[in-house]
Homo-oligomer: A and B are copies of this chain.
Amino acid sequence: MTDKSKNKRLTRESWVKGAFNTLCEEGIDQVRVERLAKKLNVTKGSFYWHFKDRSELLDALIEYWNDEMTKTVLENAKMFHGDPVQRIFSTLRDIISNEKTKHDPVFRAWANHDPKAQKYVEKVDKLRTSFLTDLFVDAGFSAEESEIRARMLYYYVLGEAYVTKKESRAVRLKRIERKAEIFTNKS
């Protein structure tokens, strides 16, 4: 698709992206060098020129995921200025709509058994929750209350992502927005 079948030379990133695909579709233990090679229509001779070994690919994969998550996810939300409550919704929309976020669970499954990946997951979690916390503060909640609500909202969105993977983002977003109102109501 992205690579016309005539592309001879591959880049390091080609491998990482290919690895990311099979990570999402089959889990980390199924991303193997020779299978990737076949998928990319080359031999592993290519791979071992670009990478020292499989472990180096996995490291690159972690970096790739981290970049995608930190770069793009919260950019739009930061741009958006206006009603603080609306910004919370906008952020949710961002997280859910992001193509990559859809694959959060797969990466988390990996991190579950790999401390290196785990470190980055924790990083991203902190980034997101602290961002959400700030939004609640802007919306007028106390610091403590903001943190509680941010965590609640974030955990909820995460859990929702695990259970309702098959539903469309539109449906999910609608439901989440409906429920998010509860979080933004000052009881």
Residues of A within 8 A of B (CB): 25-27, 29-30, 105-106, 108-109, 112-113, 125, 148, 151-152, 154-163, 165, 178-179, 182, 185, 187
Find A112's partner among B27, B154, B158 (CB 8 Å cutoff). B27
> Which of chain B's residues has its CB closest to A105's CB?
B112
Tell me how many chains of this kind the complex includes. Answer: 2
Given A26-B113, A155-B158, A155-B159, 12 other A-B contacts at CB below 8 A? A27-B109, A105-B108, A105-B112, A106-B112, A109-B109, A148-B179, A154-B159, A156-B156, A156-B159, A159-B159, A182-B182, A185-B187
Q: List 11 contacting pairs A-B, 8 Å CB cutoff, sorted by A.
A: A105-B112, A109-B112, A112-B165, A152-B182, A155-B155, A155-B157, A155-B163, A157-B159, A158-B162, A159-B162, A182-B187
Find A105's partner among B25, B27, B109, B156 (CB 8 Å cutoff). B109
